[in-house]
A and B are shown apart, each in its own frame.
Chain A
Amino acid sequence: MPDNEHNPYHPMPMHILRAYYESNDRALKTFELAFDKHKDCDEFFRNYNPGQFCQLSIFGKGEAPFGVASAAWESEFVRFTVQKMGSFTQYIHTLKAGDPIGMRGPLGNGFPLEDWKGKNLVIIGGGCAFSTLYALTKHVQHPQNRPDFDQLVVIYGARNSGLCMYKHDIQSWYQREDMELHQAIDVPEEGWFHHVGYVPDVVKDVAPSPNNAVAVVCGPPIMTKFTLPALVELGFAPETIFTSLEKRMKCGVGKCGRCNIGSKYICKDGPVFSLAELQALPNDI
């Protein structure tokens, strides 16, 4: 990134293109960011891979990491879905189209798509952690990328239908012939005809085959805790199960030391890790 070439802490100037609520409780809001400088845009998409994250920066408020929720082909914007949690995210939620914002990225390792070529993809997401899996799905769906992969199964659970992200687009996935979609909510709702139950149970019901497959799981810790063993039970080897980790971050480039688990930095060696890699790391998450 030319602007950051000399200073890795220097954000690229961006501005908000679109901002809209994702969830009916207004705790989730999606922002699509555009680059102020064209060369930043080119450089970004040259390096970007689904599964990566960026540090969004608001001067006077600080920075925080967010997974990128768009695929490179979608256009020259970068999508993030922000959950209102603390003072920084509360402030971001007040931003609207035209407002300036800073961004550093793409950061992290992203999903190992090269290794996944030719395989069946089982994408399992829960709640607001679905954003990078959405990016991954969008990437795979593109006609240029789709032939690289075999079957595509997406399992996406939310507490209730109002909390489901990217509803409009996801609805259209039921019409696609190149993938299987399984949505789930925790308790029955009128007008809901898809799965009802927790994601780990839905995974057991759908029972994706481990043959020539990789599974990616992103969700709240409680969901991941029960989903990973469910996959192991279905016969997935630890090398074929992937997840994305989170920790408090500051520099995002493996220098400030904060996000370590054992000898790995989540911002640099991750955030995507296989279960096999995680099993070799200490229990520090």
Chain B
Amino acid sequence: MMYILEKKKLDQTLKSWSEKYEVFAPQKVEGFSQFLPVEASGELALTDPHNTRYPPKALFMPQSEALLRYNRRLDRLEEVNTPPKPRLIFGIRPCDAAAVTLLDTVFNTEDNKDPFWAKRRDETILIGMGCVEPPQTCFCTTVGYGPFNTAGLDALVTELDDIFAVEVLSEKAQALFVDFPVASEDQQNQAQAVQTHAEESMAPAFDTTDLKQRLDLIFESDYWAEIADSCLGCGVCTFLCPTCFCFDIVDEVQRNERVRNWDTCMFRIYSQEASGHNPRPTRKERTRQRLMHKYSYWLGHIDKIGCTGCGRCVRYCPVGLDIRAMLRTASTLESERVNAG
């Protein structure tokens, strides 16, 4: 069912939802957009060409989170399960929502379910904003998603001139929009046209046929050393990535907490063992791990690419490494070798 939300009624709508939910929306602060509660003083940035800089995965797994609180004598050990308030995330891009469903396969499992992730997930409604003019750095269509993909969403918004056309996808969202005007056939067609146009405007960034097999064949290739040359080994790509989920657990004594922090395979100490051995001693092994994890190991796990093409790693890498170019080169290396030999 498609409903119409007039742009001029947006503020009022968000406010009315705020009575029942904690509402988050992308807002521009310091020159770039991030998901903040709507009460924050930033300027709403719902229709920027691209997604927020800092990924909304933080709304489900905060970058730092206490897993346990303790006192040193261990006679008091506390759970930190504060029940989250019901939340509504308005304006999440399809790439970020699809990424949340990928992370569900890690955290929201039957076996050893992560209660921190699961509780937030259960209490959150995701209303997506499709990308009308996908930027050239995005490649969601290449990895099986798209600028108006509905994975993970309770509703999907398509921007048309002065209205938002909202396609309701779940019961939770139906309850929110039930009193809104229903979209006319004309409006539905317009929305469809916008969506098709956006999708068709995105050229494939690399070939994903047999991607896992092609990458597995070149595991020992020197190409990984070549990429590692410019790579700084910082955490920008992994921290801004909506599908990266690695975390560290550390006891922070001055806080009396056992804390979970986002971690990155790009740091040397990530795999450093107490004996002194490090299975990934140089940047070559580490950059290889990043690419192989996303485009081979995830496929081995659940037959899905561990990337939703959000483009953040391309936009914010300090040395301009472009994962699409790396994959294009890496995945043709084997066929070159085969053709030459």
Q: A residues bordering B, Cβ < 8 Å?
A: 6-10, 13, 59-64, 85-86, 88-89, 100, 102, 221, 246-248, 250-251, 253-258, 260, 262-263, 282-285
Contacts and interface: CB of A to CB of B under 8 A. Distances in A.
B279 A284 contact: yes
A254 B79 CA distance: 21
B251 A61 contact: yes
B300 interface: yes
B271 A7 contact: no
Contacts of A283: 219-220
Contacts of A251: 247, 249
Given A85-B274, A86-B274, A89-B274, A6 B115 contact: yes
B247 A260 contact: no
Interface stretch (B14-22, B68-76, B186-194): B68-76
The size bracket of the interface on B is: 35 or more
A285 to B, nearest CB: 5
Interface of B: 67-68, 70, 72, 74, 77, 79, 81, 106-107, 112-115, 216, 219-220, 245-251, 253, 258, 260, 263, 265, 270-275, 277, 279-280, 285, 289, 292-293, 296-301
B112 A255 contact: yes
Ranked nearest first, the 8 interchain pairs of A and B with the lowest CB-CB distance are A263-B300, A257-B246, A86-B274, A85-B274, A59-B70, A253-B112, A263-B297, A8-B112
B72 A60 contact: yes
A248 B70 contact: no
A10 B68 contact: yes
Q: Please classify the interface of chain A as helix (H, G, I), strand (E, B), loop, or mixed, using the class held by over half of its residues.
A: loop
Contacts of A282: 216, 219, 292
Given A7-B67, A61-B251, A258 B246 contact: yes
B273 A260 contact: no
B301 A59 contact: no
B68 A284 contact: no
A187 B166 CA distance: 78
A63 B272 CA distance: 15
A8 B250 CA distance: 15
Contacts of B265: 257
Contact of A256 (B263, B273, B289): B263
A248 B273 contact: yes
Contacts of A246: 273
Contacts, number: 109
B277 A221 contact: yes
Given A251-B249, A255-B247, A257-B247, 9 more contacts: A7-B67, A7-B79, A7-B81, A59-B70, A59-B74, A59-B77, A247-B271, A250-B247, A256-B263
A262 B213 CA distance: 12
A9 B74 contact: no
Contacts of B249: 9, 62-63, 250-251, 256
B279 A256 contact: no
Nearest to A260: B297
B280 A284 contact: yes
B289 A284 contact: yes
Contacts of B113: 8
A112 B80 CA distance: 37
Contact of A7 (B115, B220, B301): B115
Contacts of B107: 255
7 contacts: A6-B115, A9-B258, A59-B74, A258-B248, A262-B292, A283-B219, A284-B289
Contacts of B300: 262-263
Contact of B263 (A61, A86, A247, A258): A258
Contacts of B216: 282
Contact of B106 (A247, A250, A255): A255
A44 to B, nearest CB: 15
A42 to B, nearest CB: 19
Interface centre among A10, A89, A247 (most CB of B within 10 A): A10
A137 B296 CA distance: 38
Contacts of A285: 279
Contacts of B263: 256, 258
Nearest to A284: B279
A255 B244 CA distance: 11
Given A7-B81, A59-B70, A284 B273 contact: no
Contacts of A86: 274
Contacts of B289: 284
